[in-house]
Amino acid sequence: MAAPKSRQSFEDLYKQLEAKVALLEQGGLSLDDSLAAYEEAVALAQRCQQLLEKAELRITRLKESIAVREEAAAYETAVEDEEEA
């Protein structure tokens, strides 16, 4: 049984997408089966893209957080240097 869509990892979804693409590339499917496989592949690709965008946003926020901390540390160092002078 497949995991719920919200709980599936990127890797699992990507493997499913690869399997659908391989199935479509093999050919031999009926038109209805081909359309169903294509629709499933598109949905999997969209979900993978969403997960990638979410990961990219997390990385961007982490970088911003690090930059803010570095700026604060640099400011504190500058203030301490001024006080010592």
Q: Determine the residue type at 83.
A: E
The torsion defined by the Cα of 25, 26, 30 and 31, in degrees rounded to 10, comes to 10
Give 11-29 pLDDT, tens digit per residue.
Answer: 999 999 999 999 999 999 9
Which pLDDT band, with edges at 50, 70 and 90, does 83 fall under? confident
Q: What is the mean pLDDT of residues 40-62?
A: 97
pLDDT averaged over every residue in the chain? 91
For the whole model, what pTM was predicted?
Answer: 0.73
Q: Where are the domains of the chain?
A: 11-84
Q: Could you give the 3-state DSSP secondary structure of residue 3?
A: coil
70 token code pair? 């570095």
Q: Determine the residue type at 28.
A: G
Q: Are 37 and 20 in contact (CB under 8 A)?
A: yes
The torsion defined by the Cα of 10, 5, 48 and 53, in degrees rounded to 10, comes to -90
Percent of the chain exceeding pLDDT 90 equals 74
Residue 1, pLDDT above cutoff 50: no
45 token code pair? 């690709």
Give 40-50 pLDDT, tens digit per residue.
Answer: 999 999 999 99
